[in-house]
Amino acid sequence: MTKIKPFKEPIYIIRPVLAPLIQVYKKIDEIWESKWLTNHGNQHKALETELTKYLNVDNLTLFCNGTIALEIALQALELKGEVITTPFTFPATVTSLFQKNLKPIFCDINPDDFNINSDAIEDLITPNTSAILGVHVFGNPCDVEKIEKIAKNYQVKVIYDAAHCFGVNFKNKGIGNYGDISMFSFHATKIFHTIEGGALTYNNSELKELLYLLKNFGYGTKDEYEILLPGTNGKLNELQAAIGLLNLQLVEDEIKKRKHLTQVYRENLENVDGLKFNVEKQNVMYNYQYFPLLIDEKKSRNNRDKVYDLLKKYNVFTRKYFYPLCTDYLFFKKDRDYQLPIAEKITTQILCLPLYSGLKDQDIIKICEILISLIK
């Protein structure tokens, strides 16, 4: 340990955005008055309308979480066989494929933004490929234009896991406009949240009724006793929708503050040999959901795992996000020799540092001082 004193209180990777309680009480009052707690009530309708506008998309459907939303997206697009995806993601991206009996085919990632390498996708396409499932990792958009071209050429669908991407724009368009369907997560750790929740955005408005059916047990909209499809329960309740309406008012400020804190991180870590972070791209409006960096074990006194452990002694709680790779899950049986050198390297070097609006500049500066002392 260096002479730097640990933080008195734990600094977690993230703290949820919390709307003022007085506003929450008012919303609960409204909901109690309505006597309507779930099943697409007024709060739900209002949130769908507001999010459609905020995310700048044509169609949006709410769900109880991002994972169920993604599973329903795969079902709605009637995918079969193989889906090309990334091993560098949260388990839900890939477990959703297993849930729908789809086979993940893993493609390597880019070293600079950690997204699926669009130049390596075509080599993995076979007659069994039905879709490409990209993840906009840490809010960085995938190479959406190239992926669209490939998808058109080979007549396959494109789904994006945009769980990290609330409010991100690419070329002045909401990121949810790219691909056939995009999934957003509204988990409490996300920049915009409904405690648990999620949404699908899509260009084809004909999907609306199908998605409604699939998240509502398969009940048809015309005959209330008719079950048309094997659906599930993917509904978002009124209390959570109300929290979403309140949080939506806070999101701009949260992004602004995180942008500033990200700048403080960058200024303090910029020239440290052994540390690397992604460069911001032109044409992207970011949301500053995470602050990931890479620790090069060859240039650092401690490798990523050691830094992660040592930071805890200073009361700083980071995340090895994403580690392990999906190809290393116990239940995953590798039936081919995957070539994933970049993903295999990045997963041993990546570390996400604390980032949320409640942090002060001095907190970030101190985290950087501690980190540098562990690297140099």
Instruction: Please give the residue ranges that form the binding site for ligand PLP (CB under 6 A).
Output: 65-67, 89-90, 92-93, 135, 161, 163-164, 185, 187, 198
Please say which residue, 69 or 269, places its beta carbon nearer to ligand PLP.
Answer: 69
Q: Which of 172, 167, 197 is nearest to 258 (CA)?
A: 167
What's the min distance (Å) between Cβ of 92 and ligand PLP?
4
What's the min distance (Å) between Cβ of 137 and ligand PLP?
7
d(CA 87, CA 91): 9
What's the min distance (Å) between Cβ of 297 and ligand PLP?
25
DSSP secondary-structure letter at 371? H
CA distances from residue 215 to 36, 75, 76, 225 in whole angstroms, order as listed:
18, 11, 10, 16
d(CA 73, CA 260): 35
What's the min distance (Å) between Cβ of 76 and ligand PLP?
17
Burial class (CB in 10 A: 0-12, 13-18, 19+), 220: middle
Angle between helices 21-34 and 42-54 (to 10 degrees): 130
What's the min distance (Å) between Cβ of 267 and ligand PLP?
27
d(CA 132, CA 135): 10
What's the min distance (Å) between Cβ of 91 and ligand PLP?
8
What's the min distance (Å) between Cβ of 62 and ligand PLP?
12
What's the min distance (Å) between Cβ of 215 and ligand PLP?
14
Cis peptide before 6 (omega within 30 of 0): no
Please say which residue, 54 or 219, places its beta carbon nearer to ligand PLP.
Answer: 54
d(CA 105, CA 121): 10
Please say which residue, 232 or 373, places its beta carbon nearer to ligand PLP.
Answer: 232
d(CA 115, CA 126): 21
Please say which residue, 138 or 314, places its beta carbon nearer to ligand PLP.
Answer: 138
Please say which residue, 114 or 314, places its beta carbon nearer to ligand PLP.
Answer: 114
Please say which residue, 40 or 187, places its beta carbon nearer to ligand PLP.
Answer: 187
Name the closest residue to ligand PLP (Cβ).
66
CA angle centred on 153, ends 147 and 154, rounded to 5°: 90
Please say which residue, 70 or 105, places its beta carbon nearer to ligand PLP.
Answer: 70
Please say which residue, 64 or 375, places its beta carbon nearer to ligand PLP.
Answer: 64
Please say which residue, 135 or 213, places its beta carbon nearer to ligand PLP.
Answer: 135
d(CA 93, CA 162): 10
H or E element, residue 311: helix 304-313
What's the min distance (Å) between Cβ of 282 and ligand PLP?
24
CB 121 within 8 A of CB 132: yes
CB 263 within 8 A of CB 62: no
Residues 6+ away with beta carbon under 8 Å from 261? 288, 291, 355, 357, 359, 361, 364
d(CA 376, CA 373): 6
